[in-house]
Structure 1
Amino acid sequence: VVEDFIVQQVNLGNIKGTFRARSVESAALRTLHPRIEESGKGECLLDSGSMICSISYTECQKRNIAYDPKFRIDMESANGSIERTLGLARNVEFNFQGLCFYLQLHVLDKTAYSILLG
């Protein structure tokens, strides 16, 4: 985890310096392992900065999860790139040690994760 990074280098006449932003606390990567549908456990990345839940196309195919290709949205990633989703998988069952939730998952073509919970 990067704890500080250069925000801006400045040169104001006699005043020279580098401004740094320092994180208040380090955020650990959090993963959960719920049972998904009837296809067994899966690894989910928990991302409190995301506004949606999403699944990779590969994971969707592997778990035989159907999705609606008519429901597509443009999604902006943390790096600023925009990608159109492939569709929406509706009411996908996630069971967290006996607690059952039905999630709506946006399907993405290329991801660095299998499932992201926002």
Structure 2
Amino acid sequence: MVRSGPTGLSARATIDPADPVFAGHYRGFALLPGLFLVEYVSAAVRAATAQAGIRPVAVERAKFHRPVFPGDELAIEASLAVDNGELRCVATVATAVGPVADVRLSYQATELVRQLSCQATELSGG
């Protein structure tokens, strides 16, 4: 589930214990690979900006604080800002035990910038 506003988003997801990734990561000690946390954040951004035509450009930062296990519920809180034709996302991912990752992503957002410019022009009466 993703909720979004003009400057950010909140999302929740439950890690499926039956996901095939757990079969080999790690034997006897299943945990979610960190890259999947980055993908959960990116999926939330894409869902929140579905009509904006964004394209991923870079993972600027991904810092992992503690492991995520099968069955954990993720809470994603992210701020979104458009700057110089790019959408920047700064997100924190947490579980019930606290923060598990900080992620910073950037996207090419030419269409989003155009849409926001049109909205600003309409609001100003131009």
- TM-score, structure 2 length as denominator? 0.24
Task: Name the structure where helix makes up a greater proportion of residues.
Answer: 2
Task: Name the structure where strand makes up a greater proportion of residues.
Answer: 1
Find the structure with the greater CA-based Rg: 1
